[in-house]
Structure 1
């Protein structure tokens, strides 16, 4: 193939200006394209504004800056030289090396990281293999994180310095609007957008199904381990904002000036202290960096929106890991995975349900059962609430990912939170993915991952994940189990499901 042919279509005219990408292996890639104005100065803690046009060709060969966050030691990217900056609202597109004669399905991914960390540049979520093998387009983005993206400071607004809430979610809406305006120029089909994500990314995607401003911007959703209950009303959000300012030593009178002018670093540090050291003990199971049910941008709590049939009526795949809680208990202790936290969680939320729930976990308060309760309270149970409600009015499929490579099993983690990422992206050959198969199981892991990725690609192309995966309904509750050998189970963990019935958590 000639150089001219290989580089065909690298210059693309977007709605804001021309961009030039580069060929990477079997794909063409455009990275770091601004989709909104830098959210700095007067735009800090405000909803995003569309990027200003440019005339000269923009070099789109490298990822944009990571949003300000804590250390990236567990979130490796393509290079440590990629900076952190509040000027982080950029989007990336990967397309097959050879342009297609027909518009291709588009998969838009939202990265996870507890709404406080992560980036589209993480090597674990490299979509190039998916694009080259699946003949689709892959889109990823950076959005505001931490206090700058997911806290509610409206109580401290002044006429001169107004603040808005849900700005991190609004960033994602702005990026999806950019996709609608521009993806056809890259060879994508704007009428076939599948939104998918993992952890906080899946939580955000689920929440966007309930956000009026996102209506029509995506047509399917594939959600990996969403924490569907992680959205809260103004009372809790205001409490956490006050505690955040208290950590910084700032009173209400000086809040507007401080929030406008402080560097990002102390805001990141204060958010870390609040979310990792204070909230998990004060409100176990809650997350103080989260979407806010503000009555306008997010009119209803997502669980209520799904229960009332008011979420977007689109095809939905949703699943969780077999051992969600073990990762957090071992490395990131923010879940209610101890007896003390579990008892306080029930005391603050649903004390009348406590006895029935813990009785469904034989052996509690043994550590293993406590970890299971914590993981299933945050991920499995609320996810099940979503899928069973959605199945009443729209196509819905449910899965559980049970496969764990030998290294994860020997570490006592099992099929824990996040282990589906190298599976769905086919990234067992790099970084964290490679570590998981160092002790063996590389071929089996790759096979499981291929089946999982294939289900996503079929879903993106056809609206269904495959003929061997029946829809979910509230009678049989058929659930796909991804493991060394896949299977369908009827109403898995039915005793636990019934015990959790009625639990609402924090609102």
Structure 2
């Protein structure tokens, strides 16, 4: 009892004489153990768990909870804490809508909260000045979390990489713009809160990662799908400049996104979209919006078909990614990027209705593409309408974007590497899902065989071929994070893109090659050039869904 009274007196004294320290109680820590890893960082001490050759720290806050009055504000520094903070459990996922339980990608989080800005660190034993990877999860910027089954950084920690995974605000809570939010902001902008979170996490890594054995000046930012889209934003964001040194993008897209207050490329201004959503949920002002239950707001946004995406705000995301690359204003860092051979097999909602027959297909392509139709039909012939439509959307969304990013860095004289993941294994083949969107993830994270963690409906890879391919990919990724060159002992040499459009194809094994899809990039680059000149969006509107000549944006 006397001891408790002493702690109470000390706490009152500290609050009275040292408010600038911003100390908060640590989360309850588990009983101490001799082998329990404890690390001191700027905000306090964290206690993790010991792994096989590494220490794991989960749920470390990198920013203050964005709740209440902090909803839709830039991330603020976390409060410091006393004692050893328990870092043995993942933090809750950011609030998001559920996926149907039978969905391929369903991996609904066990816990959700607006207080979700945490990160996790896999730190190799005895590491000092080790390379760092910061992982940004995918999920259309509306679902997912750093605790998802795939994203175990152990395979990288065992290769001497400090691996960091993060949560960031999703959906309407992370990508919502509104005139009143812009008016109250110091920089006059709104939206892009999820992107600001990612930048805050990178800044946290810069300040703290040395305590975990990482080199703050050798950081690779890495993401898949919406995570790769986020990396493309980071590549052109002045606010992220200098916070990372390399970039890995898996299945990125670089479609146009809306400006804050003006229309462009047929897109509604982001503030106008936000105003309409606020009216739809019956919120008359910002206090009303901030008072809404987070889950109810997310559900209302989903019903209104709110699209989570970046906003061209002139500050954090100052211009379209393609414009920044054209002007050479992107970050000058090495890049490794790729896409999957059959991305759209698991994203059939992106496909337009198929034409009735080959003659109708050819007629539509000729009507919509004019002089470019013969080149388009050589790539996507009428002899296989279904396959051609899958390939055309794949290339419009992922293939062109990937090669655009890689070729842009190569043209700037930077190391740039392209890959295509085209591996098919029995469980995927049985469901017609060879090379589907995100199918590289178990290989990139080493989640192979029955012990591998992945969503419950995922076609599970297993076997010696899959294990060998996974080991090769992790070896390449780790080498790139270490040196900027994906060169690993005992593996084929990965030719740089600058060397005659060199690339690596990951099929049953790694096979280097050149000019992966002759003519593909050139055709889609010309299509995008025409769309940009006409003020039209470029994304899934290709093939029989392409706009007619002279169509308005």
CA distance in 2, matches of 1:374, 1:263: 37
Q: CA deviation at 1:385?
A: 1.4
For residue 345 of structure 2, the aligned residue among 321, 326, 333 is: 326
* Alpha-carbon distance change, 76 to 29 in structure 1, aligned in 2, over 3 angstroms: farther
Corresponding residue for 1:484?
508
Q: CA deviation at 1:239?
A: 4.8
| Native 8 Å contact 1:66 1:119 kept in 2 | yes
Corresponding residue for 1:285?
none
CA distance in 1, matches of 2:457, 2:475: 23
| Native 8 Å contact 2:178 2:275 kept in 1 | no
Q: CA deviation at 1:51?
A: 0.8
Normalized against structure 2, the TM-score is what?
A: 0.79
Cα RMSD (Å): 3.0
Corresponding residue for 1:396?
416
User: Are 1:189 and 2:215 matched, yes or no?
Assistant: yes
CA distance in 2, matches of 1:385, 1:15: 39
Q: How many residues align?
A: 475
Q: CA deviation at 1:42?
A: 1.5
CA distance in 2, matches of 1:67, 1:396: 33
* Alpha-carbon distance change, 129 to 239 in structure 1, aligned in 2, over 3 angstroms: same
Greater mean deviation of Cα atoms: 380-389 or 235-244 = 235-244
Corresponding residue for 1:115?
141
For residue 138 of structure 1, the aligned residue among 157, 163, 181 is: 163
User: Are 1:227 and 2:253 matched, yes or no?
Assistant: yes
Alignment of 1:9-408 (within 5 A): 10-71=37-98, 73=101, 81=110, 83-96=111-124, 98-100=125-127, 102-132=128-158, 134-154=159-179, 164-229=190-255, 231-234=257-260, 235=263, 238-239=268-269, 242=272, 246=276, 250=280, 254-275=284-305, 288-329=307-348, 333=349, 335-339=350-354, 355=373, 358-359=376-377, 360-363=379-382, 366-393=385-412, 394-408=414-428
CA distance in 1, matches of 2:97, 2:280: 21
Corresponding residue for 2:16?
none
Corresponding residue for 2:3?
none
| Native 8 Å contact 2:149 2:455 kept in 1 | no
Q: CA deviation at 1:257?
A: 4.0
Corresponding residue for 2:28?
none
Normalized against structure 1, the TM-score is what?
A: 0.86
Look up the SS of the partner of 2:94 in the other structure: coil
Give the gaps of 5 or more residues in structure 2: 1-31, 356-360, 532-536, 539-553
Greater mean deviation of Cα atoms: 490-499 or 180-189 = 490-499
Give the gaps of 5 or more residues in structure 1: 280-287
Q: CA deviation at 1:247?
A: 6.2
| Native 8 Å contact 1:48 1:171 kept in 2 | yes
* Alpha-carbon distance change, 246 to 159 in structure 1, aligned in 2, over 3 angstroms: closer
| Native 8 Å contact 2:495 2:513 kept in 1 | no
CA distance in 1, matches of 2:35, 2:163: 19
Greater mean deviation of Cα atoms: 226-235 or 113-122 = 226-235
Q: CA deviation at 1:356?
A: 5.4
For residue 496 of structure 1, the aligned residue among 499, 510, 520 is: 520
Q: CA deviation at 1:27?
A: 2.3
* Alpha-carbon distance change, 243 to 352 in structure 1, aligned in 2, over 3 angstroms: farther
| Native 8 Å contact 1:322 1:416 kept in 2 | yes
